[in-house]
Amino acid sequence: MWSPWQRQQEALRAQLATLETQKQQKQTHAATLLAYGQRQVELSHKHYQGLFNASDSAAARLAQVPYLTLGAGWQGGAWDAWQPETATLESRLRIGALQDARAPQGPFSVPLLVPFIGENQTIVLRTRGEEGRVQGLELLQSLALRTALLLPHQASYVLLDPAGNGVAFLVRKALPRVVESQGDVRRDLDLVERNIQRVIETYLDAEVRSFEQVPESTRVNERFEFVLAADFPNQYDRRAVEGLIKVGNTGPRAGRYAIIHHNADVELPRDLSLEQLENAFVIDLGSSPRQGFPLAVDCTPPAALQQTLKKRLDEAKAPERDLSFTTKVGLPEQAWWNGSSERLIETPIGGYGTDGSLEAWFGVNRDGRPCAHGMLGAMTGAGKSNLYHVLICGLAQRYSPDELRLYLIDGKDGVEFQPYQALPHAAVVSLRSSPELSRSVLKDLLNEKERRNRLFKARGVQDFSAYRALGEALPRLLLLVDEYQELFEGDAEGEASAHLLQLAQQGRSVGIHMLIASQRYGATGMLHQSAVFGNVHLRMAMQMSRADVDALTEFGRRGKLLIQTCDMPGKIVLNDRSGDDGDGASRAGKVSRLQAAERDDMIRRLSARAQQRGLTAPRAVVFDGQAQPNLTDNPQLRSLLASVQTMTSEGLEALARRAEVEGGLGLESWFAAEQPLVTWLGQEFNVRGHARLVLRRRPHEHAMLLGRNNPARSGMLAALLAGLTVNPAAQNATVLLADLSLPGTQWSGALGGVVSTVLRPAGLQVTLTREAEDVPRLVQCALAVLEERRALPKEARGAQEPMFLVLNEPHEVEELRRVQDLYGANDSETGTMLRRLLAEGAQLGIHVVLSVPGVAQLRAVLDERQGLPLIKHRICLQVSEDDSYALTRTRRAARLQLHGDTPVAALYHDPEADAFTRFKPYSTDSATSLDQQFLEVNHLRGAQAVGA
Ligand SMILES: Nc1ncnc2c1ncn2[C@@H]1O[C@H](COP(=O)(O)OP(=O)(O)OP(=O)(O)O)[C@@H](O)[C@H]1O
Ligand SMILES: [Mg+2]
């Protein structure tokens, strides 16, 4: 039975249970919240600790590197640790500091910054009164240096100070590059305006709206420019004021900023006001404190600091600004030699603007416009050599040697073209060229022009392209002459000018082009200059002196202004329309950079390619104006060596009589019946010429070498013997050789070397002695052969093999020396035999070669009046006047070294032509050792024997 209080008890118990459950729920909830809170505490602790740490380390870093570029003043040593590498483009520039004198720890200052790069503003520093003016000028100098430091290697300056003639800018010396003033503010500003236009045209578009947005890699080829105007408008005329306002308004987008010190005490010309500056940022330097803080304007930095900072600026590495050859010019190897030169030859040489390509070309383009020749003006260090390398390699990759051949002529001191000796395209490589030699190259090309005209005529066509269109093979020729002004040195007859004119006018139609280069365009002593340049359609200029740019008439106004912006190596202005400015034809850009290693590797690959393809273009004629020549660089000798095994006397006759340009020897008086033998003595001072000696079976065809220069005399004698081996008729010749030169000298091995390396392997019968007492036996032996041959019937004599009696230093042989008696000197017994050989030997194929230091030594063995005339071929090195007269009846041989000791020169009197030839004799003093050369001679002959 339930009592009501029992029921109530029940209800209370249930309520208690509910409350208990609720209490537990609340407790759990509270515990969760507590845990959550604790977790948050941990997290936030960690978070802030991280921030604190980061800020601590940032603070530590800042404490190490003084925070400079923007804020620091010149005093206080903050700049001492400055390094140019830390510079970045800044949009603010410090002009001074606001100071708070109330700060508890002493005066506190905050830098005052004005807008800078990318803000499109022109800073105007306004001053009043003399004190203010001085302050303004000081600040201007401070800003000049500061901008230079903010933009290492990227800033250039135009400093305007008409009232003070530049005295306002004593900081000038510390600035990296100051554009020379032309003495007239307006003209200086014109140049800036041109630059503004050029930069806008070249780099800016809808996307790139301001210079600093140009990709850095492209922009490094340009500079920011600062026009600093002091004491404006004092003595700025109306045109100058207008110019400055224009620069101020349009310059910042093109990276050209004007900073104007405005002296408010001076009135501007009527109707002009600085209000016309649309983007002026004016700072009144003399105004009262800003927000209560006085402004301390920066002064000129102390001189010592200027110097250190300038030094650091100069030493800083300029940003990488090379346009690589591989990307701009180079082709992948599989694309090499695909070009046809039928209409033109062309190659990129660099770039302009963001992605333009600068092209050099010669011939006739698709619009029928010609580009016959080119010209390059560039001062030293402007990057001329690099340009040559880029051009040569660019062309050599595009055209095979069958399409293009090169004539490369260095100036008197130049060896730039040396690496191209191995380039298959090289026809002529001349180093350290004398003017005489360079002129001979022009002459040579004129001969080639004549030859080509004959070819064209024979096929009934007018010019190169038409001839090639017939399917005929003929390469274009490009002549590159460095320091072309040297051509006119010592050219009394005006030969160089005449040749140049002919080539300029007539070269193109036969596929011969020139690129001439010099420090400046014109040259002293050059005639017909305008007629020549009239055919020079490709005009290029790199950095040039101000005076040379001013004197230029070969470029239009715009072109000239562009050339003035060529302020670093590799920058170039190229115009392929005779300098005409129209159509933006003058392009300012940068030549690609080709490193030496890359170039040499390319030459190797090109050469290997030519070999693989079996291209048999004749080997380059190599000429070094200062060195003695190499026998192995003699193309005539080389080609004869390669064919001697299969050559007949008749074949040789045909070859000998063929013109040199056709690959022959150009010896019209060569008759096989006279059994002539050819050999070489050296290289003439012209491109093709090789000093040769031809010995025929006629009276007195003997040779004599005379002179005190032993390396040259021995080298020449050894080379003469080596050369004989190319004659089919001399394959079984006998050589009786006495070498009495002083053993152990640098030249004494030459004859022994040629005997063992060349003569004996070639099959000649050689008797060699170094003993004086053997000489009489040699002479007797030769005389015995003479007697034998005399006894033969006339017809049989011709079949006898040639014999050479070669006596080096015969005066050393006692038995040969003439004998004195009461009535004078008489031939010795052996001497008499020698004289008979001289008188009667040559007709019978016995040739004597004597080599002596001077005429006195010759007189010791031969009677001057009776013996000397028996020797027809005389080769002299530099000798005394008397000796020269005795040998040549002229003073020529005494004047061989008038221009110095190198190269050693020699003189040969050619009895056939009755002409004197001056040449560089082969010598033991040559770049490649003579022994090495003999090995190669032997190899050249052997290589063919295997192939045959
Ligand atoms: N296109 C280029 N790009 C970058 N740097 C270049 C370029 N051309 C030349 N240079 C730099 O300029 C230096 C001089 O170049 P180069 O030897 O070609 O000048 P040059 O006018 O022939 O001088 P020189 O008058 O001494 O013969 C080079 O070593 C190279 O550092
Ligand atoms: Mg050079």
Nearest-ligand number for the alpha carbon of 376: 1
The answer to whether 251 is a known ligand-binding residue is no
pLDDT of res. 17: 94
Q: What average pLDDT is seen over the chain?
A: 91
Q: How far is the CA of 593 from the centre of ligand 2 (A)?
A: 13
Nearest-ligand number for the alpha carbon of 410: 2
Probe residue for ligand 1, chosen from 358, 386, 431, 567 as the CB with the greatest number of ligand atoms within 8 Å: 386
pLDDT digit string (tens) for 428-462?
A: 999 999 898 899 999 999 999 999 999 999 999 99
Q: How far is the CA of 644 from the centre of ligand 2 (A)?
A: 42
HEC per residue, 768-829? EECCHHHHHHHHHHHHHHHHHHHHCCHHHHCCCCCEEEEEECHHHCHHHCCEEECCEEECCH
Q: How far is the CA of 588 from the centre of ligand 1 (A)?
A: 17
CB distance 882 to 891 below 8 Å: no
pLDDT of res. 236: 94
Report whether residue 518 contacts ligand 1, using a CB cutoff of 6 Å.
no
600 vs 174, which has greater pLDDT?
600
pLDDT of res. 76: 77
C-alpha 351/C-alpha 347 separation (Å) is: 12
Average pLDDT score over residue span 240-263: 96
Q: Ligand 1: which atom is nearest the Cα of residue 591?
A: 1
Where do the domains of the chain lie, and which CATH numbers do they carry? 84-315 (3.40.50.300), 323-612 (3.40.50.300), 627-947 (3.40.50.300)
Q: How far is the CA of 278 from the centre of ligand 2 (A)?
A: 47
The answer to whether 443 is a known ligand-binding residue is no
Q: What is the CA radius of gyration of the chain?
A: 43
Confidence of residue 946 (pLDDT cuts 50, 70, 90): very low
Long-range CB pairs of 68-76, under 8 A, 24+ apart, other chains included:
69/149, 69/150, 70/94, 70/111, 70/113, 71/111, 71/113, 72/111, 73/97, 73/111, 73/298, 74/142, 74/298, 74/299, 74/301, 74/302, 74/305
* β-bridge pairing 426-431 and 476-481: unpaired
pLDDT digit string (tens) for 17-52?
A: 999 999 999 999 999 999 999 999 999 999 999 888
Helix then strand then coil, % of the chain, to nearest 5 = 45, 20, 35
Report whether residue 158 contacts ligand 1, using a CB cutoff of 6 Å.
no
Report whether residue 384 contacts ligand 1, using a CB cutoff of 6 Å.
yes
The answer to whether 378 is a known ligand-binding residue is yes
Is the dihedral angle over the CA atoms 724, 730, 732, 736 positive or is it negative? negative
Is pLDDT above 90 for 622?
A: no
pLDDT of res. 99: 82
Give the list of residues 6+ apart from residue 23 with CB closer than 8 angstroms, or none.
Answer: none
Is pLDDT above 60 for 114?
A: yes
Q: How far is the CA of 430 from the centre of ligand 2 (A)?
A: 15
Coil, helix or strand at residue 550: helix
Q: How many CB atoms lie within 10 A of CB 531?
A: 13
Report whether residue 589 contacts ligand 1, using a CB cutoff of 6 Å.
no
The answer to whether 380 is a known ligand-binding residue is yes
Is the dihedral angle over the CA atoms 921, 926, 931, 936 positive or is it negative? negative
Residue nearest to atom 2 of ligand 1 (CA): 570
Give the list of residues 6+ apart from residue 524 with CB closer than 8 angstroms, or none.
Answer: 485, 488
Maximum average pLDDT range among 344-358, 710-724, 820-834 = 710-724
Q: Which strand (E) or helix (H) includes residue 432?
A: none
Q: How far is the CA of 601 from the centre of ligand 1 (A)?
A: 19
Report whether residue 569 contacts ligand 1, using a CB cutoff of 6 Å.
yes
C-alpha 172/C-alpha 164 separation (Å) is: 14
Query: Both tokens of residue 255?
Result: 């990276």
- With 0-12 / 13-18 / 19 or more C-beta atoms within 10 angstroms meaning exposed / middle / buried, residue 555 is buried
**Half-sphere exposure of residue 133: CA atoms within 13 angstroms, side-chain side:** 14
Cα end-to-end distance, the chain, whole Å: 143
Residue nearest to atom 15 of ligand 1 (CA): 383
The answer to whether 928 is a known ligand-binding residue is no
pLDDT digit string (tens) for 798-851?
A: 899 999 999 999 999 999 999 988 788 888 999 999 999 999 999 999 999 999
Report whether residue 727 contacts ligand 1, using a CB cutoff of 6 Å.
no
CA dihedral 617, 618, 622, 628 (to 10 degrees): 150
pLDDT of res. 708: 95
Total length of the chain: 948
Q: How far is the CA of 777 from the centre of ligand 2 (A)?
A: 59
Residue nearest to atom 4 of ligand 1 (CA): 322
Residue nearest to atom 18 of ligand 1 (CA): 383
Place of tokens 């698709």: 366
Average pLDDT score over residue span 222-237: 94
HEC per residue, 721-772? HHHHCCCHHHCCCEEEEEECCCCCCCCCCHHHHHHHHHHCCCCCEEEEECCH
Q: Ligand 1: which atom is nearest the Cα of residue 321?
A: 4
CB distance 240 to 121 below 8 Å: no
pLDDT of res. 295: 86
- β-bridge partners, 405: 477
Q: How far is the CA of 378 from the centre of ligand 2 (A)?
A: 10
Report whether residue 319 contacts ligand 1, using a CB cutoff of 6 Å.
no
Among candidate residues 135, 123, 129, the one with its CA nearest the CA of residue 265:
129
Q: How far is the CA of 678 from the centre of ligand 1 (A)?
A: 46
Average pLDDT score over residue span 591-601: 96
Is pLDDT above 70 for 195?
A: yes
Is pLDDT above 50 for 945?
A: no
Is pLDDT above 70 for 720?
A: yes
Residue nearest to atom 28 of ligand 1 (CA): 383
Residue nearest to atom 1 of ligand 1 (CA): 570
Coil, helix or strand at residue 349: strand
The answer to whether 57 is a known ligand-binding residue is no
DSSP 273-309: -GGG-TTEEEEETTSPPBTTB-EEE--PPPHHHHHHH
Report whether residue 435 contacts ligand 1, using a CB cutoff of 6 Å.
no
Least confident of 319-328, 338-347, 405-414, 692-701: 319-328
pLDDT of res. 323: 81
Q: How many CB atoms lie within 10 A of CB 889?
A: 9
Report whether residue 702 contacts ligand 1, using a CB cutoff of 6 Å.
no
Q: How far is the CA of 715 from the centre of ligand 2 (A)?
A: 33
Q: How far is the CA of 532 from the centre of ligand 1 (A)?
A: 28
Report whether residue 386 contacts ligand 1, using a CB cutoff of 6 Å.
yes
Give the list of residues 6+ apart from residue 587 with CB closer than 8 angstroms, or none.
Answer: 352, 356, 358, 562, 573, 574, 575
- Would you tell me the crossing angle of helices 303-315 and 129-150 to the nearest 10 degrees? 20
Nearest-ligand number for the alpha carbon of 380: 1
Q: How far is the CA of 520 from the centre of ligand 2 (A)?
A: 14
Among candidate residues 812, 729, 733, 800, the one with its CA nearest the CA of residue 769:
812
The one-letter amino acid code at 343 reads: R
Q: How many CB atoms lie within 10 A of CB 901?
A: 9
pLDDT digit string (tens) for 888-919?
A: 889 999 999 987 888 999 999 877 778 899 99
54 vs 840, which has greater pLDDT?
840
Long-range CB pairs of 608-616, under 8 A, 24+ apart, other chains included:
609/336, 609/337, 609/424, 610/400, 610/401, 610/424, 613/400, 615/400, 615/401, 615/402, 615/424
What are the residue ranges of helices labelled H in 316-434? Answer: 325-328, 384-398
pLDDT of res. 318: 67
Cis peptide before 162 (omega within 30 of 0): no
Report whether residue 726 contacts ligand 1, using a CB cutoff of 6 Å.
no
Q: Which strand (E) or helix (H) includes residue 271?
A: none
Report whether residue 330 contacts ligand 1, using a CB cutoff of 6 Å.
no
Nearest-ligand number for the alpha carbon of 599: 1
C-alpha 468/C-alpha 490 separation (Å) is: 39
DSSP 620-653: PEEEETTSBPPGGG-HHHHHHHHHTTT--HHHHH
Is pLDDT above 70 for 67?
A: no
Among candidate residues 672, 688, 710, 763, the one with its CA nearest the CA of residue 680:
688
Q: Give, in order, the Cα–Cα distances in Å from 309 to each of 9, 87, 140.
A: 99, 13, 17
Report whether residue 593 contacts ligand 1, using a CB cutoff of 6 Å.
yes
Confidence of residue 944 (pLDDT cuts 50, 70, 90): very low
Query: Both tokens of residue 162?
Result: 């008409």
Report whether residue 591 contacts ligand 1, using a CB cutoff of 6 Å.
yes
The answer to whether 381 is a known ligand-binding residue is yes
Give the list of residues 6+ apart from residue 871 with CB closer than 8 angstroms, or none.
Answer: 700, 702, 703, 704, 838, 848, 850
The answer to whether 745 is a known ligand-binding residue is no
CB distance 47 to 41 below 8 Å: no
Q: How far is the CA of 483 from the centre of ligand 2 (A)?
A: 10
514 vs 648, which has greater pLDDT?
514
Report whether residue 570 contacts ligand 1, using a CB cutoff of 6 Å.
yes
pLDDT of res. 948: 31
Within the chain, what is the greatest distance between any pair of CA atoms? Answer: 190
C-alpha 887/C-alpha 196 separation (Å) is: 72
806 vs 945, which has greater pLDDT?
806
Is pLDDT above 80 for 233?
A: yes
Question: What is the percent of the chain where pLDDT is above 70?
Answer: 96
**C-alpha angle 755/845/868, rounded to 5°?**
90
- Would you tell me the crossing angle of helices 384-398 and 596-612 to the nearest 10 degrees? 30
Report whether residue 380 contacts ligand 1, using a CB cutoff of 6 Å.
yes
pLDDT digit string (tens) for 463-490?
A: 999 999 999 999 999 999 999 999 999 8
CB distance 220 to 320 below 8 Å: yes
Report whether residue 381 contacts ligand 1, using a CB cutoff of 6 Å.
yes
